Amino acid sequence: MLSHPRMLRLGLIALLMAGGAVNAATYELPADGSDVIGSVATVTATFEDTLVDIARKNGVGYEDIVRANPGVNVWVPGEGTEVVIPTRFVLPAGPRRGIVLNLAEYRLYYFPEAAEGETPKVMTYPISIGRMDWETPLGNTRVISKVVNPAWYPPKSVRDEHAAEGRPLPRIVPPGPNNPLGRHAMRLGLPGYLIHGTNRPAGVGMRVTHGCLRMFPEDIRYLFDYIAIDTPVRIINEPIKIGWQGDELVMEVHPILESAPAEAADDTTVDAGDETETAADVDATEVDVTDVDAETDIEIETAVEIEAAEKDPLTYVTEQFIVATDQRPGDLDWSLVEEVVRRADGMPVTVGVGDAEIIAVDADNEAVVDGVEIPAVADSEVGNDGIAGDNEVVALEDGPGGEVVASDDTAAD
């Protein structure tokens, strides 16, 4: 019992530190609809620290911290070294609901349903993904069961691989320190694929699994209680993300995942009729996992392979830019885009701005742009000859002195 005042203080500090690590992974979604959350931080390494230690303490994975700190030794960063913590993220495009797993980013996003009057939030955690020869499939699925202290039933293909390496596996690995699933596992509708903990946390944030998604033990323990059965799961491969923060377009670039050769990739494609030979299975105790799909009438989605690596990075940029500017026009600085793509360090960078604001003249014949009231033209000047009129759309942009002026784009053809 912590009865001594100093010991009590140390105990409270430890609890606050543990809570802070978890809370740091939860962000309120920006009220203005922006797509960027978090901020980049720095910490000072101690003599005992490794980058892997620092990454885990701060909610990032191996690849995250290595790319954000080029030139820093992974195992001996050195006492006093300033280490960058890359905890600023562009949210993935698409629906913000359930779980989104972005493989190229080695990251999970969870968008819990917000209660009435509650600010929507997102939780985000680093993950490990399938190796090139055991690719994690893409697609839409859902959580179909949750297990505490799972037993692992490694499929024959995994047992054969371990045997060939001189590390034979039993048919059943019981719960405990030697179980690679850790203490928590969530089974997906894609047969054989799980989101689970690990007994080897140093590998979180790497491409090292047999297709499953691996999390830090403390992360999945915290997330586990939030996730309900039937929570939707979207598995994507978006090495480049573009989103809005205020009037700026922000881009985050990760290296493109290399894909396995066609003959190897064929082995990782899963459909509803396949046996669970691609990854892992668990003992769900109350649920016989071999019969779960039939008994719960859950539709099993068909997985797809990771897109081929020969896709040009600027093609990804173009695709993301089109999505980001679907409802709001913007311009990119393409020379800066190319430099950020070349670095591919996962650090979000502003690469563009919004175009001229598009507004509609209101009933009072006035408009407001960035808090400035702009009188509209008189009704007598209205027409379809290129001059803006009542209830027509006007394009405005900044003038050379900061004033708002009519854009040339409103002129007649």
Roughly how many angstroms between the first and final C-alpha of the chain, as a whole number? 81
Kindly tell me the burial class for residue 64, based on how many C-beta atoms sit within 10 Å of its own C-beta (0-12, 13-18, 19 or more).
buried
Instruction: Identify the sign of the CA torsion 65, 71, 74, 75.
Output: negative
Q: Do 137 and 305 meet the contact criterion of CB atoms below 8 Å apart?
A: yes
Which residues are designated catalytic? Answer: 196, 212
Pairing verdict, β 349-354 and 330-332 = antiparallel
* Tokens at 133, concatenated: 């020869």
Q: How far apart are CA 147 and CA 92, in angstroms?
A: 28
Q: Which helix (H) or strand (E) holds 264?
A: helix 262-265
Is 303:139 a contact under the CB 8 Å cutoff?
yes
Closest listed residue to residue 303, CA positions, set 107, 101, 61, 74: 101
Q: Residue 139, Cβ neighbours under 10 Å: how many?
A: 17
Measured CA to CA, the distance from residue 289 to residue 292 in angstroms comes to 5
CB neighbour burial string for 105-137, b if at least 16 within 10 angstroms, e if fewer: bbbbbbbbeeeeeeebebbbbbbbbbbbebbbb
Sort strands 349-354 and 357-360 into parallel, antiparallel or unpaired. Answer: unpaired
